Structure 1
Amino acid sequence: MKKFIFSIIGVLIVCSSLVFNGVVSAEDTTSSVLNGSGVIIKNTTLIPAAEFMKAIGGQVVINEKKEITLSYLSTNILIQVNSKYAKINNVKTFFNIPSQIIDGKLMIPLQLVKSAFKLDYSVNYGTTYLGGQYLESIVVNTDKVSVTIMINDIYERFQDLIVGKAWLWTTNVYIEDLSGNPIYDGIDNLAEVDVTAVKRNEDSDYINVYLIHKGRNLVAIIKDDGSKISFFVKSPFKRYKFSQKQWNEIKQTTISIGMTEEMVYLSWGPFTRQSTDTYGWGTSSMWVYEYDDGLADYLFFYDGVLTSMSE
């Protein structure tokens, strides 16, 4: 099994090393933008090894012990997948985050190649609508090349989504196909999907979640509010023991008198605001859903059960 895994790694390294875009400047300095993106894990930036080494004129070699050597000029870095140790010209070095396979590519710590190869780099930040900053790209420079690496700064936050199966909470997302056409029908609330990638939208306040639903490749666009509220990574149908009638209502994002707060929440999503009063005879709550057109729905609960609603 190990032999098979490392054979796959070898193929991935060789194949991915061929993919990058280069442009020669007027000063004979080669500039390139890697097709692959870097990621941030535990405050450590990891970059695609094979593409990066190819871009700076280096090499990647795997020996019979399944050790990987990154060579540039007179410096060699010896690493193993998932090991926090590396050897730089036979001197052992420790890094907090190991080199690892992510999305089929060998990813290595940026700090490792910077230190070993004596490289300079600069950082570019993007700005959200509300003024927050995020790491957008890194530019690594040698005396001959300038390599731009785009950074997927949200990878770690959504890492547990990119494992395949998830359940889409449609009340909080805008869905479109890969051509940008909106999808209004054919996807129930809490539909089972396969998540393939998560990236920041061109509008930096939103996040694109790439998914497959019944054979269709789609994009769910969600507000970057610091949460993963639009997806369940474990089946809600196993977690909550509702009747089939109640599940059918939730799938169609409808509500009815007698629903519990959990049912309403799953069907309509988070409320805009709420208030709760507790008395000796029970608890009374009001949920308010406010909309962009100025209208609102008011839902009234008694002891966690929907008793009335008004607009």
Structure 2
Amino acid sequence: MKVKAAGTTKITVKQGGVSKSVTLSASYGYYLQYAKQVNGVIYIPVKDVFETMGAKVSYNSGTKTFTAKLGNTVVELKQGSANAKVDGKAVRMKGTVRQENGMTVFPASLLADQFGAKLKWDAKRQVLTVSFGQGHIWIESVDTQAIDKRTALGGLNAYIGKTYYVNHYQGWKRFMKVKLVDIEVEDRMYKPVFQTDGGKQYAGYSTTADRLKELLADDYTFLNYDPYKKYKWPSSVWKLIEAEKIAIGMTKQQVLLSWGEPTSTSTVSGSGITVETWGYGYYTFVTFTNGKVSSIVR
């Protein structure tokens, strides 16, 4: 057997004088689009819905009328009219046939009134379920995917639209100004998408929601301020920091921006002199005397 439409039908199989009747139900495995609720009336696309039900649909541009032939039933829907014709008989609908998103739509209640369908409108997701027994057709609105994405992002929605300055992330240019314009979701993994003022986009790597929040809040990966405006340092210092280098005479803040937080620290003070040593692993140490780099051991 080949299923050609969504819905429910009863078939009888006969063999050797023995017959068996069964009811078959089939659902359409994809979402149709452009359901919309207007003043309490839910509208759905004429052509896509009736074709999914197995009808042959034609359109007369002269009369602006759609004709759907579903088995022995003929449905006529004229644009701008609240009257449908079912097998030649006028049927008053709850709204008019109209244009939405470039498609001709009609009141979904016609399917309930004339075909016995059950309609269920999910106001939260803006999805209409049309059921014929155990067979279903799902029709989403233009906003459904965005609604589903906002739900999937949860608390991450608050980060979209925020501006950051790259520090250490995927080898991108340091202190590049970017805006988080999107977060792609797939299998509970989240990929941030950033955009520069010039419109160029950079996609980060996929990670968990909690890890992404940590990355966006960690000064080592992203800064939430413009470091060039905050620190009025000479260009020679900025060149060292951008290249992740340090030099004698740099301040602790400059070293922090260049290399990040140390793995260990120790401080000794006496006679008005403070000596502080930062360890960065692999026997790398930076010593500050009264707040400025006095020696580097690597």
Sort the TM-score into its range (normalised by shorter chain): 0.3 to 0.5
Query: Normalising by structure 1, what TM-score?
Result: 0.44
Query: Normalising by structure 2, what TM-score?
Result: 0.46
**More RCO (CA 8 Å, sep 6+):** 1
